[in-house]
Structure 1
Amino acid sequence: MSCNEESGNNVNEQDLKISLVEDEVENPKVGMIFESEEEVRNYYINYAKHLGFGVSKISTKNRSDGKSSYFSLACARYGKAISKAKNSFHPRPSTKTNCKAKINVTTKDDGRFIIPRVCLDHNHVLSPGKVQHFRCNKVIDSHVRKRLELNDLAGITLNKYYHSLVVEAGGYEYLPFGERECRNYIAKARQLRLGIGDAEALRNYFYRMQNRNPNFFYMIDMDEEGRLRNVFWADARCRAAYESFGDVITFDTTYLTNKYDIPFAPFVGVNHHGQSVLFSCGLLSNEDIETYIWLFESWLTCMLRRALKAIITYQCKAIQAAVRKVFPESCYRLCVWHIMQKLHMKLGGLGQYKAIKWSLQNTVYESLTYDEFERKWMELIKEYNLENNEWLNSLYKDRHRWVPVYVKCSFWAGMSTIQRSESMNAFFDGYVHLKTTLKQFVEQYDSALKSKIEKENKADFSSFTSTIPKITLFSIEKQFQDVYIHNIFKDFQEQMRGLMYCNTSIIKREGSVSTFEVKDHKAGKDGGFLKEVTCEVFYNAAEGELRCLCHLFEFKGILCSHIISVMIQEKVNEVPSNYILDRWRKDIKRGYTFVKNIYDDFSNSEQRLQKNNLIPLLYELQEFGAESGEKYELLGDKGKTHHH
């Protein structure tokens, strides 16, 4: 057995000093001492080269100062083979064989590094003659990097230069990197090349955009020395989309940090298809209260002082304080997903962590009423002696801001977390990266937004030109099939399917007001068993009012299977109009679709510019016509006269 752990015997450090010889490398041993993490890595990679295997770093643990306290260097074939192929009949090759060969490295009190455990056994064939192909050995030295940049600037093609490097080295096998690594480095160098003058280029870009479309909005915040500090902008289409979908937004600053360390701060909503829609965004130099106040005030100016109706953000005291100050009347809540992701960090050290985690998840996600949540929470705290846990106490104090049972009575367009903005951020991944410069980011932002609009246009086309077949004969389903967009109608059909699990009975009836009990059966987490959930449904036949304890309609704007079950039992064949939301309809032409964005291209005709200059007047006419019935009729008559 070649896996050894550090014994209690004293080890003579001098005897274990590494001797790196050109043709020979000493095998790793328990007790070896290294001066730095880089020295450990270089030693193990050199050792791996001689034996013929690749190296990867695993199981890293850092101290509070960011430096390593523990890590392992393992054979590159460490870990189990897991296929990531979408089609199981066409599996992708995997290099993993669950090889156990590795060394563990810990940091000593004096800052040096020691190996407390070694495993030398490999479960695969070693290939000393092919080590140049392992990723850990593909290193481009500074001389070659400089030549790559100069050749690229001079217009010399990469394949010519790479071939010369191969000839110079005496063959491909003697070159410690491939053409792909050279290509990746050149791409990175190009992206880093625009450094000086980025702020000015960004400002010029905004000027051009506003000249092309007067409804393009931006604000730039400079410090006392005239250096760029914060930026906020929104194009004409995004501003107009706020009219249709501004009922709920998500906000976070967790995604992009470019070469100037400026967090990306998008304001994101959801459109009629349930897709992410960007209203505006900012680039911030700081994440303190004053910066967020500046950003939110910029938003108010951009959106003509129309405050946010509802906002979802993550647990950040600075953001929460700025929201309370700038949007005092807005309904805001915290991201439940972000909070639950902290469980391991906050409670992982407790002896009964797994049981606490399960109980807490059940309390948060399965409680149907305030009383049920309160009871489960108190039982959890008492059973595991968590009365003095500050984090849990703070969560309980803010429960009305994040626990589903407290927030589901308000409309959130189905957005339960800030993962809506995270999905928007993922959309930008193909266009920007951590080293993108300011000017490049805004230009790529335009390309990403074009792609987003095209995706929405395709979904519109699909909803207008095709029909999703009904799954029942109920006229209620036909009513939603006729007016709802495809994605939302699919969600409604899920509720129709849920009817088979609902058992409805009347509790009491007083005149036109009735209360029903609906026993619903839902699959457990493993999908194997059904859990019974009881919901009460209130129905006022005279007023056409329906309410369910699950509050799905209030939360997402879609009728739940419990209400549908009651309507069917009461022989209600038509859903009252107030339960069909305009924001999910496909037969409404929304104002923002008339806004044709003029991006940073140079192919804009004079006629197109004139049309965009008239867009602000259209907004003013809409506002004028909505003020009263007479003004609406006046504009309507003018339109008819002009048409004839």
Structure 2
Amino acid sequence: MKLQEVQGTSTTSVIFQAVSVPPEDADSVETNNSQELTEQEIEEFIAAEQVAASAGNNADINSMYTPQIGMEFETKEAAQHFFNFYAYMASFGTAIVKVFRSGSKKKKQEVTKVIVKCNKYGKNKEPKTLPQQEAEVDKDIGKKKGPKRKTNVVVKTNCQCTMVAKEEGQIWRITGLELEHNHDLQPGKHFDGHKYLIDMEKALIRTLNECNIPTRKMVTILSNLRGGPMTLPVKKKDISNIRIKINREVRGSDMTKLLDNFRNKKSDDPSFFYKFDLDEENRVKNIFWRDGSSIKYYEEYGDCVSFDTTYMTNKYRLSFAPFVGITGHAQTCLFGCTFLHDETAETFKWVFETFLESMGGKHPRSIIMDQDKAMKAAILEVFPNTRHRNYLFHIKNKCYNKNLKVFAKNKGLYEIFEDIVNNCLLEEEFEYLWGKMIEDKKLENNKYFTRMWETRERFIPVYYKHDFFPFIQTTSRSEAVNARFKENVGPTYSIHSFFSEYQ
């Protein structure tokens, strides 16, 4: 049996291969034309390989990937990437130690020379300790120490492994090189300098981003293409950063793309409606749109509307606010969508007026919303005949959170409070029982209970016995719509990406 070396792209693997033996040696071999290595010989061979690797021997790396003096590259980045790829195969980290810039006015401080070293270059800095700290250290001597905490601090060994690349004319050339290490290498570990994706992988990330594929799934796809989870030299955070850069690229053309999408939808469906609100400098402030099918839903189920503005979905920090209704089968339907620049009375007035315009002027009979004074003022002006109320569920939760000690000290207050709020049949009954509860539990000076009493006609169910509010006491309908969009779009996405997910 002979040892035969097989060169690979990253490391050299050694295999044991049976080789034919000349006829004159046939008597000394077995009938299968091979001679088995003893277990001791195999162990000695493996030990020798491990010693060579631990000593920093890089001879097993294919010479075509080993830096050499005089090598030429088109750019500085190409030279750095070549050295980083060599470091990836040799299993050590790299660091850019020094950068030289041109003093010429024509080149405007352009980089002309770069020095890249092993990340264990230099010496460790000794921490400065005060006399009091030294005394405390002396006291700790002899005590049992727990396991060392993992840290990302690189232990320096003054390693001299270095590559110097210099610009000469229109090319970059390696002018200095030292590849020997004075420390053990770390096979299987990925360092920051190893992070590199080929153009095809970057294009794939761009394509997957257009499809709103989650980052964690992108990591899985790229890992499988490379051969497994351990072969991908980047982390989830790195791919997420790439996605953020891609999303920022459309900043200048984002609204143009959105307008093109709206126009295409309008050409396919003439009943599709959209409108932009611009400021004095023709910048987009607010956006509203609704599908053609929404007007049919609103015609049949538009008596009650839920409106909520709590979800941020884009990098411009515009609030997404859906107009949501309930069908005759208690299912959620979407009447329209809007992006709001701010939450002022003027903005809400524009939104509600645009909503009426898109729905042919039909006013809802009732609308439910959160406790927003600006929104309330706009509703009173735009929907004067519409009955509006606040979300009971949120108001009660806020009451409990602000009065934890009050409910804990007053036994039975929770049950009395819930019974009065939910089960009163007459307004007079509610007002009498509420006053009795305040007097019995001595809550006259409680600010939140006082405020609830002053605003009781906005959320207490008994005041809405004759109004149409089907199955609605919370923002759950609006939040269900928001949750659907939150699956694949977030605050770093563009409006164009959001609309693609909407479609």
Q: What TM-score comes out, normalization by structure 1 length? A: 0.44
Any idea what the Cα deviations from partners look like across 1:171-199, whole Å, max 9, x if unmatched? Answer: 949x9976x66666656665555333111
Equivalent residues of 1:149, 1:186 under 8 A apart: no
Distance 1:240 1:386, change over 3 A: same
Distance 1:160 1:366, change over 3 A: closer
Alpha-carbon distance between aligned partners in 2 of 1:342 and 1:422, rounded to the nearest angstrom: 18
1:428 corresponds in structure 2 to 485
Question: Does residue 292 of structure 2 align to residue 236 of structure 1?
Answer: yes
Question: Does residue 455 of structure 2 align to residue 398 of structure 1?
Answer: yes
Equivalent residues of 1:140, 1:177 under 8 A apart: no
Residue 160 (structure 1) shift: 10
Alpha-carbon distance between aligned partners in 2 of 1:18 and 1:265, rounded to the nearest angstrom: 60
Distance 1:351 1:187, change over 3 A: same
2:344 to 288, 293, 297: 288
Residue 278 (structure 1) shift: 0.4
Residue 264 (structure 1) shift: 0.5
Question: Does residue 322 of structure 2 align to residue 271 of structure 1?
Answer: no
Alpha-carbon distance between aligned partners in 1 of 2:309 and 2:361, rounded to the nearest angstrom: 22
Question: Does residue 476 of structure 2 align to residue 419 of structure 1?
Answer: yes
Any idea what the Cα deviations from partners look like across 1:514-547, whole Å, max 9, x if unmatched? Answer: xxxxxxxxxxxxxxxxxxxxxxxxxxxxxxxxxx
Q: Residue 266 of structure 1: SS of its match in structure 2?
A: strand
1:366 to 423, 444, 447: 423
Residue 140 (structure 1) shift: 9.3
Question: Does residue 267 of structure 2 align to residue 211 of structure 1?
Answer: yes
1:384 corresponds in structure 2 to 441
1:543 corresponds in structure 2 to none
Distance 1:295 1:47, change over 3 A: same
1:623 corresponds in structure 2 to none
Q: Residue 251 of structure 2: SS of its match in structure 1?
A: coil
1:47 corresponds in structure 2 to 149
Q: Residue 220 of structure 1: SS of its match in structure 2?
A: strand
Residue 405 (structure 1) shift: 1.8
Alpha-carbon distance between aligned partners in 2 of 1:222 and 1:310, rounded to the nearest angstrom: 29
User: 1:407 is aligned with what amino acid?
Assistant: Y
Alpha-carbon distance between aligned partners in 2 of 1:351 and 1:15, rounded to the nearest angstrom: 50
Alpha-carbon distance between aligned partners in 2 of 1:17 and 1:187, rounded to the nearest angstrom: 52
Distance 1:368 1:148, change over 3 A: farther
Question: Does residue 502 of structure 2 align to residue 442 of structure 1?
Answer: no
Any idea what the Cα deviations from partners look like across 1:97-140, whole Å, max 9, x if unmatched? Answer: xxxxxxxxxxxxxxxxxxxxxxxxxxxxxxxxxxxxxxxxx999
2:304 corresponds in structure 1 to 248
Aligned alpha-carbon RMSD (Å): 4.0
Q: Residue 149 of structure 2: SS of its match in structure 1?
A: helix
User: 1:361 is aligned with what amino acid?
Assistant: E
Alpha-carbon distance between aligned partners in 1 of 2:131 and 2:149, rounded to the nearest angstrom: 20
Q: Residue 411 of structure 1: SS of its match in structure 2?
A: coil
User: 2:394 is aligned with what amino acid?
Assistant: H
2:404 corresponds in structure 1 to 348
Alpha-carbon distance between aligned partners in 2 of 1:289 and 1:153, rounded to the nearest angstrom: 45
Q: Residue 311 of structure 2: SS of its match in structure 1?
A: coil
Alpha-carbon distance between aligned partners in 2 of 1:214 and 1:17, rounded to the nearest angstrom: 83
Residue 211 (structure 1) shift: 2.0
Distance 1:139 1:226, change over 3 A: farther
Alpha-carbon distance between aligned partners in 1 of 2:439 and 2:287, rounded to the nearest angstrom: 49
Greater C-alpha Rg: 2
Distance 1:160 1:300, change over 3 A: closer
Residue 409 (structure 1) shift: 2.7
User: 1:212 is aligned with what amino acid?
Assistant: D
Alignment of 1:279-318 (within 5 A): 279-318=335-374
Q: Residue 389 of structure 2: SS of its match in structure 1?
A: strand
Equivalent residues of 2:313, 2:498 under 8 A apart: no
Equivalent residues of 1:246, 1:269 under 8 A apart: yes
1:483 corresponds in structure 2 to none
In structure 1, the gaps of 5 or more residues are 1-11, 20-25, 29-43, 51-137, 447-644
2:202 to 148, 153, 158: 153
User: 1:289 is aligned with what amino acid?
Assistant: A
1:201 corresponds in structure 2 to 257
Equivalent residues of 1:369, 1:405 under 8 A apart: yes
Q: Residue 218 of structure 1: SS of its match in structure 2?
A: strand
Alpha-carbon distance between aligned partners in 1 of 2:135 and 2:328, rounded to the nearest angstrom: 67
Equivalent residues of 1:292, 1:318 under 8 A apart: yes
User: 1:239 is aligned with what amino acid?
Assistant: I
Alpha-carbon distance between aligned partners in 2 of 1:370 and 1:350, rounded to the nearest angstrom: 26
Alpha-carbon distance between aligned partners in 1 of 2:370 and 2:131, rounded to the nearest angstrom: 50
Alpha-carbon distance between aligned partners in 2 of 1:309 and 1:433, rounded to the nearest angstrom: 33
Alpha-carbon distance between aligned partners in 1 of 2:357 and 2:304, rounded to the nearest angstrom: 18
Equivalent residues of 1:149, 1:189 under 8 A apart: no
Distance 1:155 1:363, change over 3 A: closer
Residue 347 (structure 1) shift: 2.0
Alpha-carbon distance between aligned partners in 1 of 2:304 and 2:273, rounded to the nearest angstrom: 21
Equivalent residues of 2:410, 2:441 under 8 A apart: no
Equivalent residues of 2:421, 2:460 under 8 A apart: yes
In structure 2, the gaps of 5 or more residues are 1-129, 138-143, 153-188, 206-217
Q: Residue 312 of structure 2: SS of its match in structure 1?
A: coil
Q: Residue 337 of structure 2: SS of its match in structure 1?
A: strand
Equivalent residues of 1:255, 1:264 under 8 A apart: yes
Q: Residue 444 of structure 2: SS of its match in structure 1?
A: coil
Distance 1:315 1:208, change over 3 A: same
Distance 1:353 1:280, change over 3 A: farther
Alignment of 1:619-630 (within 5 A): none
Equivalent residues of 1:262, 1:284 under 8 A apart: yes
Alignment of 1:578-617 (within 5 A): none
Question: Does residue 394 of structure 2 align to residue 331 of structure 1?
Answer: no
Q: Residue 341 of structure 1: SS of its match in structure 2?
A: helix
1:584 corresponds in structure 2 to none
Alpha-carbon distance between aligned partners in 1 of 2:134 and 2:421, rounded to the nearest angstrom: 55
Percent identity of the aligned residues? 32
Any idea what the Cα deviations from partners look like across 1:431-484, whole Å, max 9, x if unmatched? Answer: 4333221011112111xxxxxxxxxxxxxxxxxxxxxxxxxxxxxxxxxxxxxx
Question: Does residue 467 of structure 2 align to residue 410 of structure 1?
Answer: yes
Distance 1:283 1:164, change over 3 A: closer
Residue 404 (structure 1) shift: 1.5
Alpha-carbon distance between aligned partners in 2 of 1:227 and 1:242, rounded to the nearest angstrom: 31
Distance 1:152 1:318, change over 3 A: farther
Any idea what the Cα deviations from partners look like across 1:498-527, whole Å, max 9, x if unmatched? Answer: xxxxxxxxxxxxxxxxxxxxxxxxxxxxxx
Alpha-carbon distance between aligned partners in 2 of 1:323 and 1:343, rounded to the nearest angstrom: 25
Q: Residue 342 of structure 1: SS of its match in structure 2?
A: helix
Tell me the number of residue pairs that the alignment of Structure 1 and Structure 2 aligns: 319
Alpha-carbon distance between aligned partners in 2 of 1:13 and 1:199, rounded to the nearest angstrom: 64
Residue 414 (structure 1) shift: 2.4
User: 1:264 is aligned with what amino acid?
Assistant: F
Distance 1:160 1:386, change over 3 A: closer
Alpha-carbon distance between aligned partners in 2 of 1:284 and 1:27, rounded to the nearest angstrom: 58
Alpha-carbon distance between aligned partners in 1 of 2:257 and 2:421, rounded to the nearest angstrom: 48
Q: What TM-score comes out, normalization by structure 2 length? A: 0.55
Any idea what the Cα deviations from partners look like across 1:114-171, whole Å, max 9, x if unmatched? Answer: xxxxxxxxxxxxxxxxxxxxxxxx9995x677x449664355997898699999xxx9
